[in-house]
Each structure stands twice: as C-alpha cells, then as structure tokens.
Amino acid sequence: MTADADDPVKGGGVRRARYAVAAVFCAHGAVTGSFATRVPWIQEHAGISAGQLGLALAFPAVGAALAMPLAGSVSHRFGSRAALRGLVALWTLSLILPALAPDLLTLCMALFVYGASAGMSDVTMNALGVEVENRMGRSVMSGLHGMWSVGALLGSAAGTVAAHLHVDARLHHTAAALVLTVVAVAVCQGAPDVRSAPDETPPPRFALPPRSALLIGAVGFCAVFAEGAAMDWSGVYLRDVLGGSPGIAAASTTAFALTMAVARLSGDRIVDRFGAVGTVRVGGCLATAGGLLVVASTGTAAALAGFGLIGLGVAVVVPLAFAAAARSGPRPAQAIAGVATITYTSGLIAPSAIGAVADVSSLVMSFGLVTALAFGLVVGAGVLRTRARGPVPEGDATTAAADAPRP
C-alpha cells in the first residue's frame, strides 16, 4: 500500500482526516433519515399496500448484501479517497430514486440501487474510519457512528418539517440529495488517500467473508437485532402490552434514537479506557438488564428505562465490530463487508422475527428473545479482541503504511 503525496494524514492533518470522515458519516446518516420520514408519501405515490411496501423495503438490504463485497475492488482500483467520493455521491444521489417510482416494480428497483450504493459507501467509509483510528492510536469509530446517528436525526427532522408542510417528496429528496452530494464530495478531499501498490494482487470481486469476520459478525448480529427490535417495536410494546398513550408510544422511538446517538458520541472515551472487549461485555450486561426490565415491567416508565438500557448497551457494538473486522486479516474491506452483510441481515429479519414470535406467543416472549441475544454480547465479546493500537506520528507515512490495515 502507498499513500498519495497530498494525503492529509501524511501532511500532518490526521485530525482533519478524522473530521472529514466524520462529516461523511453524518451525510450518510442524513440520507437514511430523509428517506425514512417520507416512506408514507412514497407508498401513497406508488399506490401500493402495506404488504407490498414491506416487500419493497426488503430490497435495500438485498442490494446492500450483493454490492458490499465490491467495495474492496473499487478502493483497490481507484484509491480510497476517489472510491469514497464516488460511492458516497452515488449514495446521496440515489435518494432521488424511490420518490420517483410510480409502482411496486420500479420502487423495488429503485430501493435495490439505493441499498447497493448504501452498502458500498458504508464499507468504504468504515474502512477509512479504521484507517484514521489506527493513525490516531485511539478509538474513534464509536464517535464516527455517533455522527451517523446525528445525521439521521438531522435528516429525519428536515423530513418531518417537509412532510408537515406537505412538500412533494420528489422535490424534497432532490433538493436534499443535491445539497448532501455537494457537501459529501467536498469533505472527501480531507479523507486519507490510500492506494494499492502496482504489483499488489487485487481483492476478489465476490468472496465469502473470512471465518474471523463470521464470529465478529455474530456479535454484531446480536446487537443489531436488539437495536432493531427496540427501535421498531418499543412503541407497540408500550401501547399494546402496557396500555401507554399514543404520545408515550411515539416518543419512545425518538428517545431510543437519541440514547443511541449520545452513547456513540461518548463511547470512544469509554473504549479507550476499558478496551473493546470490556466495553462490549459491560454493554451486554446493560442490554440484558434492560431486556429483563422490559419483560418484567408492569408500567410504561420502567419499560422506557429498559429500552434505554438496551440502547446504551448495544450502541457501540457495531462500530467496534467493524474496527475488529478491519484488523482481523489482510483485507479489511472484505472483512468489514462480511460483518456488514451479517448486521444488515440482522436488521432486516429483526422486525419480522419479533412479529412472528408475537403472533405465536406474545410481545413479552419476543423481548425474551431480545434479552437472550443481548446476553450473547457478554458471551461473545472476546472475539472483538485485536492487536493493540499504537499512535502513528503525524506525517510519518512510512510507519503508517507498514503498520496500519488498508481498505
């Protein structure tokens, strides 16, 4: 691997590189938040039923799972900065497509492209996040994912305003996509530019994730399942099981998202002090306690506290899983893609799995399953143990090139 002459990390701007990658994470999250708020408009415009919408919303995960293994090849061919710039621009511009879809078929196709571009840009920016983390010699991945959550909150806030004002989603998403594309492409200039050596063997376009990534992905699976279940079903649980008011039920989702964002933004200090394994084990204990509190609750206040503990417990697991995957072998992007595929799958099946268990038993039993998976974080945290990081002196590109994993 080689570093380009104008690499900001080589030139002594490792903090600038961190801020650039953080801004990309924020823009990435803003696309997701912008889309989520206009799903009802998109459903009405396409003239589809709730069941058809559920089918269409599976296509982003399918597109992401199929496209993520390609990210390593793109970075190898074009360099990390150019790959990030191109893939993030593709992702932000793909926001325009779903609102244009007039029927189910075109919506599925649009969401497939939307998911594919999301997945490839996700892998690339996480690989560069680990690159910056290695060069700084301390944890930054949790904060980067916190910036993603901040972006999602900003995008959803803007989308809520647009929906309240009855702005056509085609206009809203086109304007948002153009603004986010300009911002994201501009800040990419500050990202590290890591290039493959001329004689380096290119990564395979499609490959199964390494075994180490499967184990790390299993930990990520438990965290994302618990996160998705709490995010999508907490309001229903408070309303249907505990008789909470519609306002309390609606507020639970926003409160959970804020808890996740705050925990991720502050998580790096905790990781630096206690290490990835210790942090995830404690987080698993908190999430398990939260799940038990939800299951045992007879009132909404206790259940809200339980959902909050679940959010605190799982918030930093996925960032740490990506960081561990990137250090688990010679091809960080391939390992990250493997872990990301597993976590995307978990996020896809969690809402439907909770509903299926509830149909045959109850929502209380569903969150018993969530509690069991949360305890899996305690058991499996050891797979996140990686070699120790060491700080890379700013400007010492030779040392960085020798020691740091490369996307």
> Which distant-in-sequence residues (6+ apart) come within 8 Å of 14 by Cβ?
8, 132, 135, 136, 392, 394
Of the candidates 316, 327, 330, 335, the one whose C-alpha atom is nearest the C-alpha of residue 381 is 316
pLDDT higher for 364 or 391? 364
Q: What is the mean pLDDT of residues 213-220?
A: 88
What percent of the chain has a predicted confidence (pLDDT) above 70?
85
Q: Over 80: is that where the pLDDT of 406 sits?
A: no
Strand partners, 224: none
Question: Across residues 394-404, what is the average pLDDT?
Answer: 32
Q: How confident is the model at residue 164 (pLDDT cuts 50, 70, 90)?
A: confident
68 vs 86: CA distance, rounded Å: 14
Q: How far apart are CA 264 and CA 384, in angstroms?
A: 17
Condensed to tens digits (0 to 9), the pLDDT of residues 279-321 reads 999 999 999 999 999 999 999 999 989 998 998 999 999 889 9
